[in-house]
Amino acid sequence: MENKFHLKVVSREGVIYEEDVDSITSYNEVGKFDVLASHANFISLISKGLIIRQEPRNPLKKIDFDHALLRVRENNVEVFIGVEGMAPASLEPSKITSGDSIPIIK
């Protein structure tokens, strides 16, 4: 079993980090969590940055941000930084118009 997974961190300016890593640590509304190789697929809004471990002997790397979207899928992790405006639970249908980038679901 492979002990690494592919991590790609993207901001509005483009890809800011892309490597195979051993683990990442971040925070969501439930609290602190880790992602390791072969993690279950999931999507979460995250905050307080991202801590990256490439190898046990290498120093940890940290990417600071306030908000991001994290997607884990088939041993690939993507982090999309700059999603401050995303708040699906608080969206009111009357505030969404067909011109917005958020699809309207009826």
Name the token pair of 78.
């993507």
Q: What was the pLDDT predicted at 15?
A: 96
Domains and CATH numbers, the chain: 5-95 (2.60.15.10)
CB 74 within 8 A of CB 41: yes
Taking only the tens place, the pLDDT of each residue in 75-91 is 999 999 987 655 444 44
DSSP structural state of residue 94: G
DSSP structural state of residue 95: G
Q: Is the pLDDT of residue 94 over 90?
A: no
Q: What was the pLDDT predicted at 84?
A: 66
85-91 long-range Cβ contacts below 8 angstroms, 24+ apart? 86/45
Q: What was the pLDDT predicted at 85?
A: 58
Q: Is the pLDDT of residue 103 over 50?
A: no
CB 54 within 8 A of CB 60: no
